[in-house]
């Protein structure tokens, strides 16, 4: 392995693609006749396939959770801090699978893919996906990999909702659910922020009702606004204060509308880099999947009843400064699990980083995460 890659990295990795030709029925009533799932794996599946861990990604994530695609990569995968030899999700022990969600823009079939029925880009015609839809598609991947039961399904934020859904929908295919920085459903405020983000994208004249690809353009401004707004909700007030305070770029006010405060500069940069890598229709779809997630709804809003069939043991983790999905929201999940007599551990991590804390190598968080994963029993290699 090249010297420039850290020893505790999974190293150079390559995405793989599963071509699925069995139609997938979706919650919206439509069916995907065929689709591709792009995924990465780290570590080695053991003989009885008992050491497989599924990583579910959040709104802007993808299948590249750990390691490097190329020696020139500036950064490793998005959860490299937690996945690798000797890390919380120890790839010496576990076989880790991370797919890009359907509807995503990382390679799996989504709005920016070609619709085989029309030969044109799906764009806005791609169906809106739900968390249960994703779980169904992930079972196809599990079957393909001969994994009948995940040792654990792990995710943060929207990823955690998938872990919860796995435990509820397929109780005998998951032994442990790691539910990090989650909520059992979005609040009206959460939905409101998503709606402003969607309006920003949809009102961009370059959006062309989602057909921007056909117009050889991109709704850059709208997607950029959505990202800036999202970013504010991922960080805590405290984290922003520590990062930027009220520092001025030039040292003095200019009484104009160019960048003045450091935080403005940061937001513009984040926005710019995001629009170069992310698809606007995917962004819309992901926010809808978030808004729609509400497993208790079909059970008279009783989450404990929704969770009655769960067999998995759960670890729920929240972060003190997360105001997007506050510790109180995680505690709703814990309360429902306890009420339905499930095995659950809960940790509230002191952290100033806000919702984004779930991606950070915070020592106490990593310690709890690692200890839990170490206790999971797997068969012989």
| Residue 264 touching a second copy (CB under 8 A) | yes
Closest CA to 163 of 141, 183, 145: 183
Q: Given the DSSP bridges, would you call strands 83-84 and 89-90 parallel, antiparallel or unpaired?
A: parallel
What separation in angstroms does the CA of 117 have from each of 32, 34, 106? 10, 10, 21
Of the candidate residues 202, 331, 340, 345, the single one contacting a second copy (CB under 8 A): 202
Closer Cβ to a second copy, 301 or 341, answer by number = 301
Phi, psi of 139 (to 5 degrees): -70, -35
| Residue 327 touching a second copy (CB under 8 A) | no
Contacts of 338 (CB under 8 A, 6+ apart): 344
From residue 277 to residue 306, what is the string marking binding to a second copy with x (rule CB under 8 A)? -------x---x--xx-x------------
Write down the residue that tokens 């106490």 correspond to.
364
Of the residues 322, 326, 330, 356, which is catalytic?
322
Spell out where 175-246 has E strands: 176-180
| Residue 340 touching a second copy (CB under 8 A) | no
- The question of whether 236 is a catalytic residue gets the answer no
Of the candidate residues 117, 143, 195, 350, the single one contacting a second copy (CB under 8 A): 195
User: What gap in Å lies between CA 189 and CA 187, rounded to an integer?
Assistant: 5
- The question of whether 157 is a catalytic residue gets the answer yes
User: What gap in Å lies between CA 173 and CA 167, rounded to an integer?
Assistant: 8
| Residue 188 touching a second copy (CB under 8 A) | yes
| Residue 323 touching a second copy (CB under 8 A) | yes
Of the candidate residues 7, 25, 28, 381, the single one contacting a second copy (CB under 8 A): 28
User: What gap in Å lies between CA 381 and CA 249, rounded to an integer?
Assistant: 56
What's the min distance (Å) between Cβ of 73 and a second copy?
29
DSSP 334: H
What's the min distance (Å) between Cβ of 306 and a second copy?
15
Contacts of 119 (CB under 8 A, 6+ apart): none
- Binding residues for a second copy, per CB under 8 A? 27-29, 127-128, 185-189, 191-193, 195-196, 198-200, 202-205, 221, 224-225, 228-229, 232, 235, 237, 240-241, 243-246, 253, 255-257, 260-261, 263-264, 267-268, 284, 288, 291-292, 294, 323
């Amino acid at each position: 392995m090249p010297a420039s890659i850290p020893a505790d990295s999974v190293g150079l990795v390559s995405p793989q693609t599963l071509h699925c030709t069995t139609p997938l029925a979706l919650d919206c009533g439509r069916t995907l006749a065929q689709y591709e799932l792009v995924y990465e794996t780290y570590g080695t599946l053991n003989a009885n396939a008992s050491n497989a861990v599924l990583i579910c990604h959040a709104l802007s994530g993808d299948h590249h959770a750990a390691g490097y695609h190329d020696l020139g990569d500036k950064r490793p995968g998005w959860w490299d801090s937690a996945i690798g030899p000797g890390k919380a999700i120890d790839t010496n022990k576990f076989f880790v699978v991370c797919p890009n969600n359907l509807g995503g823009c990382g390679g799996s079939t989504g709005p920016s893919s070609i619709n085989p029925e029309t030969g044109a880009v799906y764009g806005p015609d791609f169906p809106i996906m739900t968390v249960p839809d994703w779980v169904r598609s992930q079972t196809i991947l599990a079957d393909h990999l001969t994994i009948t039961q995940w040792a654990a399904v792990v995710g943060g934020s929207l990823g955690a909702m998938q872990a919860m859904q796995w435990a509820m929908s397929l109780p005998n295919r998951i032994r442990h659910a790691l539910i990090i920085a989650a909520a059992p459903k979005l609040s009206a405020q959460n939905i409101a922020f998503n709606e402003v983000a969607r309006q920003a994208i949809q009102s961009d004249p370059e959006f062309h009702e989602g057909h921007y690809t056909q117009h050889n353009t991109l709704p850059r401004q709208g997607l950029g606004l959505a990202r800036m707004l999202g970013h504010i909700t991922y960080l805590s007030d405290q984290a922003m204060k520590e990062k930027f305070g009220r520092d001025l770029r030039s040292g003095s006010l200019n009484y104009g509308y160019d960048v003045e405060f450091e935080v403005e500069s940061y937001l513009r940069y984040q926005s710019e880099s995001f629009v170069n890598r992310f698809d606007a229709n995917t962004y819309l779809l992901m926010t809808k999947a978030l808004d729609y997630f509400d497993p208790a709804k079909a059970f008279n809003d009783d989450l404990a009843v929704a969770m009655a069939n769960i067999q998995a043991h759960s670890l729920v983790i929240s972060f003190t400064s997360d105001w997007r999905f506050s510790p109180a929201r995680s505690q709703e999940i814990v309360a429902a699990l306890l009420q339905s007599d499930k095995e659950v551990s809960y940790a509230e991590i002191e952290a100033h980083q806000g919702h984004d804390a779930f991606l950070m190598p915070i020592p106490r968080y990593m310690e709890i995460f690692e200890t839990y994963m170490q206790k999971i029993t797997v068969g012989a290699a």
